[in-house]
Amino acid sequence: MRTEHDSLGDLQIPDDEYFGIQTARALDNFSISDLQISPYFIRAYAELKKACTMANVELGAFKNEAAANAIIKACDEVAELEHEKQFILDVFQAGAGTSTNMNLNEVIANRALEILGKPRGDYATISPNDHVNMSQSTNDTYPTAMRLAAILMLHEQLHPALAALGSAFTQKGEEFADFVKSGRTHLQDAVPITLGQEFTAWAHILFRHFLRLLNAEEDLNRLGIGGSAAGSGLNTPKGYTKLVVATLVSNLGIKLYESENLFEAMQSLAPFVHLMSALKNLSLDLLKISADLRLLASGPMTGLAEIQLPAVQPGSSIMPGKVNPSMLEMLSQVALQVVGSEATVAMASQAGQLELNVMMPIVQFNICFSLEILSNAMGSVSEKCIVGITADRERMLHYAETSGSLVTALAPEIGYLKAAEVAKESLRTKRPIREIVLEQKLVQAEKLENILDVFEMTGA
């Protein structure tokens, strides 16, 4: 054990731990859940600490080169998640994320001390507050790290998963390009379309969401680092913000800018609401698409059964041979969770007072959690469901050719009201549209065949 001291007194810390006294106090105070911060947030925060240290050295604020180099090396290790087990604080913690910031500061300081051959806890040599946290406050670093983590997760997780799902739909759209089926509106028979058009529409829906997410990212990449405690930049050297942002751009390879107003960047969580709104919007369409696919696959004997989903597990503990749309059910549940997370972020956004929004930890958790589960869910559904879908061409064609909606194509020829009469007669007698039209001599046979060509009706 080693003894560490803070403004509240002394505390014994296990000597094999990199975290220190403030982390230990937070562990004792906030035993609320088993939920912990995202590895992406640890990585982002460590990259930010590194950039801040590099800026302090270049601007002459940090004069101990050996200590600075040790801190930078420790930051690299933390960013590579070599010390991930040292970050065990509950996501439900003190406001603004001070506990998490100090967790980073202490782990980095003690690892840097070890690199220098010094004992852990020798804060006279490298201090978590005076050195690792130099020119910083939780109030500007935490929201900056939130932005960085979200952008990294978008680039490395969500965008690839969204692209894979969109690509799977596009490929199926091409495969089913000439599979004619009955369209449905209001859950009632409608004019013919192709199954390929249905899948291609879903692909384009996802592409539009990709554009919306890019727009949200543009709102995230303006950083308020350098605002310090309240936005005024107290205790930061001149030129610090510009240099930190430039260093982050160089180190991370992502597009970032200085915020036009550091006070605004620390008070408003609007960029995170923007992102969560985009994720919620995507989730709502994923719910719709999942429901559509489940409906098209319903049956296999008493439903539509136009498509077949790959079987991934037995569907019932009591009904032998039953197969359920398990992957789509999972995706729907994930999407519902994201919708709920958006509500949490929205409420947290309005809960800040004056110069700071202290609800950032719960916002950070919900954003990273939503990005993670959406990415994983879309990737799994692409791989284990969409790419393996097959279709029953004959069944779909039968539905299309026996649908009363075919009279829509006859309306320009025989008029809307007469076409409606034919549709009602077909529904009442269960006889085909063609048979009734020919019987009543409404259209000549050759012309009728051209009019009622179901593939031509699709516009494909």
Per-position DSSP letters for 15-67, written without gaps between them: TT-S--HHHHHHHHH----S-B--HHHHHHHHHHHHHHHHHHHHTTS---HHH
Residue 6: φ, ψ to 5°: -135, -170
Contacts of 288 (CB under 8 A, 6+ apart): none
Quote the CA–CA distance of 328 and 330 in Å, as a whole number: 5
Assess contact for 150 and 367: CB atoms under 8 A: yes
Residue 298, classed as helix, strand or coil, is coil
Q: Name beta bridge partners: 390.
A: 308
Quote the CA–CA distance of 316 and 295 in Å, as a whole number: 19
Compute the C-alpha angle 210/212/216, nearest 5°.
115
Q: By C-alpha distance, which of 396, 413, 414 is closest to 455?
A: 396
Of 316, 349, 375, 380, catalytic: 316
Residue with tokens 């369209």, as numbered in its chain: 183
Instruction: Decide if 127 is catalytic.
Output: no
Quote the CA–CA distance of 73 and 61 in Å, as a whole number: 19
Q: By C-alpha distance, which of 157, 112, 217, 150 is closest to 367?
A: 150
Provide the pairing of β-strand 180-185 with 2-6.
unpaired
The first and second tokens of residue 220, run together, are: 């995230």
Quote the CA–CA distance of 63 and 264 in Å, as a whole number: 32
Beta strands, E only, 206-256: 222-223
Which spans in 350-415 are helix H?
360-384, 393-402, 407-414
Quote the CA–CA distance of 305 and 430 in Å, as a whole number: 21
Contacts of 368 (CB under 8 A, 6+ apart): 37, 38, 40, 41, 149, 150, 153
> What is the sign, positive or negative, of the torsion defined by CA atoms of 142, 143, 144, 150?
positive
Q: Which amino acid is at 376?
A: N
Q: By C-alpha distance, which of 2, 22, 252, 248 is closest to 114?
A: 2
Catalytic positions, written as ranges: 316
